[in-house]
Amino acid sequence: MTISHLLSARAARNVHVVRATRSAKLSAVVLAAAAAVLAALPFLVFSTVTDTLINLFVLIALASMWNLLAGFGGLVSVGQQAYIGIGAYSLVALADLGVQPYLAVPLAALTCAVFALPTSWLAFRLRGDYFAVGTWVIAEVYRLLVVRVDSLGGASGKSLSGLSGIDATLRGALTYWIALALALATIAGCYLLLRGRLGLSLMAVRDEETAAASAGIDVRRAKLLVYLVSAAGCGAAGGVITLSSLSVNPDSIFSVQWSAYMIFIVVIGGIGFIEGPLIGALIFFALQQLLADFGSWYLVLLGVVGIVAALRLPRGLWGLVPGPSLFPIGYLVRRSDGPA
Amino acid sequence: MAPLLRLDGVAKSFGQVVVARDLSLSVEPGEALGIVGPNGAGKSSLFAMISGDLRPDGGTVWLDGRDVTGAAPHARTRAGIGRTFQVPRPFGHLTVFENVLVCAHQGAGLRGRQAQAHAMGVLERVGLAELANTPAGRLALLQRKRLEVARAVGTGPRLLLLDEVAGGLTEPEVAELVAVVRELHAGGLGVVWIEHVVHALVKTVGRMICLAGGDVVADGEPLRVLADQRVRELYLGAGPEAGAEEGS
C-alpha cells in the first residue's frame, strides 16, 4: 500500500525498536542457573524437601495459567479446577489403559484442551462476573459427572496404577523433575506466547475489546486460544498432583480451593506480570510452611494477607519493583535523531 | 469499477427511534465524504453499521463490490476499513507504539520490522512519535484523539472512518489534524468523516451529506450542502457553525 510505504520509509531511517534489555538477558542467565540447581536437588537433599517443592512447582504452574487467563486475557475464571480435575482423572484413566503415567501428563493436558473447546462455547456466552460464576458452575458439573462414573471410582476416588514397579526414591525424583519441568514450561510458555504478535493482541483485547476488534483482532479466537492453553496447563498440573499423591479424590481435585490459591498467588504477586505468579507462589508457599502448625489461624492470616495485598498493592508485589522486567514482552522505541 | 463503499437500502431502528431509514450512499475510491447532521441524526450508528459493530435491520453494505453485511468488525478492518471512536478507546496498558503496532499486525497483516516501521511512520505523521513509549492510558484528550487516528491508519485501510476527531481540539490543533487527514487523502485513501467542526470538513472533503432522522437530507458539494435551506433549518436557522464559509 502506497501510504504505508510512504510513512514507513520516513520512519525507518532513525528509529529502532528494542525488545530485551541487557539486564533482562542477565536475569535469564540467573533463572537458568536456578533451574539447573533445582534440577540437581534430588541428588543433594532428602526426598522430604523435594516432595514439598513439588507442591511449589504445581502452584507456580497453576498461578501462571490463571495469570495468563485473567491478567493477560481478561478472563477472570473461578473454575480452572475443572481442568485440574479432568487432567488428574485423565492420568488415572490413561494409566489404567496401560499408558506410562509419566508420559500420560502431556496427554492429560491435551485431553483438557479437548474438553475446554466445547466448554468455551458455553462459558464465552457469559461476561465479567457472570463468566466467573459460570466457570465455577461448570467445574461443579464436571465433578458431578465424574462422580457418576463407576469405572473412575465414583465419589470415593481412585488410586493411580502403573507406578508400583518403580522404586519409591526414583519415583519421587521423577515426579519432582516433571513438576519442575511443568513450572518452567508454563513460565516459558507464557513468555513466548505473550512476546509474540498474539500476546500483543491478547493484551489489547483485555484493555479494550471493541477497539481490539476494530484493530483487526479476532477477539473470540484470541480468547479461545488463551483459554485452551490455560486449560491444558491446569490439566498437566492436575496430572502432576496425581503423580505426587498417587490417587485422586473428586471432592479435593475439583475443589474451588484451587481457584482461591491461584487468585491469591497472582493477586499478591502481581497480576499481569509474568513474574507475579512466581513471586506470589514463593510467598504463598512460605506462608504455608511457616503457618502450617497454626491450624485455622493459618487461613485467617492468609485471608488478612490477601485483603491487605488487594487494598494496598493493586499491582501486587512485583508492581513495586522498579526497573526492567525479567521477562520483557513489550517494545521500546529508541530514536536516534537529534544530537546523540 | 465498483465503489469503495456502497450502502444499499440500509435500515436500522431502536424501538421507535429510527437511525437509518432506507439509507443508500456510495463512496468512490479515494473520495473524501463529510457527514454532518444534528445530534441523534444517526451518524454514529451509520459508522457502526459500516464498521460492523452494529448489524442493520435490512439492506446491504458493500466494500469494493463485496457484500460485507454479515462480516465481523475484525474482518472488515482486514478488508480495508479503519475507524476511530468518538470517545477514544486506547489500549491503556500498552504503549502508544504498541497500540499502533497491534493494528499493523492484525489489521494491515504486517510482520516484524515492516510492522514496526509502519507503526512508527504512522506515529510520526500524527505527531505522537515523541510519546511512543508512553502507556496510552496516561495520554491527554488531544493525544488520545491522535492515537485513534494513528490506530485507524495503522490498520492499513483503504477507507478511513473518522468520528468527530476534531471535537474538543483548539484551532491550531484542528488545523494540524486537517493537514494530516488531507495528506492521507492525497495518498489515495478514501475518507468518511463525521464532524461538528464544519470548517475542518469543508477544507478536507470534496462531498458532503447531511443526515437527519435516519435520512439523507442533502448530498453534494460541501458549501452547497451547507447553504441548503433544509440543512440550515435543521441547525435552528443559524446554519451549521455560522460563518464557516467566510472563515475557510
pLDDT tens by residue, A27-61:
788 888 999 998 888 888 887 888 889 999 999 99
Q: Are A68 and A229 in contact (CB under 8 A)?
A: yes
pLDDT in tens, B156-195: 999 999 998 888 888 888 888 888 889 889 988 999 999 8
Residues B47, B113 within the same domain: no
Q: Which residues of A touch B83 (CB under 8 A)?
A: 214
Residues B123, B236 within the same domain: no
Residues B31, B134 within the same domain: no
Q: How confident is the model at residue B243 (pLDDT cuts 50, 70, 90)?
A: very low
Q: How confident is the model at residue A233 (pLDDT cuts 50, 70, 90)?
A: very high
Domain presence at residue B2: no
pLDDT at position B244 over 90: no
A122 to chain B nearest CA, in Å? 20
Give chain B's domain count.
2
Residues B173, B230 within the same domain: yes
Comparing A69 with B245, the larger pLDDT belongs to A69
Contact B83 A206 (CB under 8 A): no
Residues B172, B202 within the same domain: yes
Span A169-186, average pLDDT = 91
Span A161-188, average pLDDT = 88
pLDDT in tens, A309-338: 888 887 888 888 876 777 888 888 887 654
Domain presence at residue B43: yes
Range of the domain at B104: 90-156
In angstroms, the CA A239 to CA A110 distance is: 11
Residues B164, B53 within the same domain: yes
Contact A208 B122 (CB under 8 A): no
Which grid cell is B196? 461538528
Domain presence at residue B58: yes
Contact A9 B102 (CB under 8 A): no
Residues B71, B34 within the same domain: yes
Predicted local confidence at residue B203, as pLDDT: 86
How long is chain B?
248
Last residue of a domain, one of B122, B139, B156: B156
Predicted local confidence at residue A12, as pLDDT: 52
Percent of the residues in chain A that have a pLDDT greater than 70, as a whole number = 93
Span A92-100, average pLDDT = 91
Residues B171, B69 within the same domain: yes
Residues 60-79, chain B: which have Cβ within 8 Å of A? Answer: 72-74, 77-78
Residues B174, B75 within the same domain: yes
Domain presence at residue B181: yes
Which domain CATH number covers B48? 3.40.50.300
Helix, strand, coil in percent for chain A, rounding step 5 = 75, 5, 20
Q: Which residue of B has its CA nearest to A211?
A: B89
Last residue of a domain, one of B156, B184, B208: B156
Q: How far is CA A28 from the centre of its chain?
A: 19
Which grid cell is B131? 510519546
Q: Which of B90, B120, B189 sits opposite A3 (nearest CB)?
A: B189
Beta-carbon contacts of residue B120 (< 8 Å; ≥ 6 apart): A8, A11, A12, A15, A17, A333, B97, B129, B132
pLDDT at position A71 over 80: yes
Last residue of a domain, one of B156, B182, B204: B156
Q: How confident is the model at residue B236 (pLDDT cuts 50, 70, 90)?
A: low
Domain presence at residue B55: yes
Predicted local confidence at residue A235, as pLDDT: 95
Mean of the per-residue pLDDT values for chain A?
Answer: 86
pLDDT at position A250 over 50: yes
Q: Which of B52, B82, B120 sits opposite A333 (nearest CB)?
A: B120
pLDDT in tens, A272-308: 888 899 999 999 998 888 887 887 888 888 888 888 8
Domain presence at residue B198: yes
Which grid cell is B156? 492499513
Domain presence at residue B19: no
In angstroms, the CA B154 to CA B84 distance is: 11
Q: Which of B86, B111, B114, B118 to mutate to test the interface with A (most CBs of A within 10 A)?
A: B118
Residues B29, B71 within the same domain: yes
Predicted local confidence at residue B14, as pLDDT: 87
pLDDT in tens, B59-116: 899 998 889 888 999 999 999 999 999 889 999 999 999 999 999 999 888 888 889 9
Q: Which of A7, A218, A331 sits opposite B122 (nearest CB)?
A: A7
Contact A216 B90 (CB under 8 A): no
Span A149-172, average pLDDT = 83
The conformation of residue B95, written as its DSSP 8-state character, comes to B
Amino acid sitting at position B189: L
Q: Which residues of B touch A330 (CB under 8 A)?
A: 94-95, 98
Contact B121 A212 (CB under 8 A): no
Domain presence at residue B61: yes
pLDDT at position B239 over 80: no
Predicted local confidence at residue A338, as pLDDT: 44
pLDDT at position A92 over 80: yes
Predicted local confidence at residue A8, as pLDDT: 52
Predicted local confidence at residue B174, as pLDDT: 87
The number of C-beta contacts closer than 8 angstroms across A and B is 148
Predicted local confidence at residue B98, as pLDDT: 94
pLDDT at position A2 over 60: no
Residues B195, B76 within the same domain: yes
Residues B189, B232 within the same domain: yes
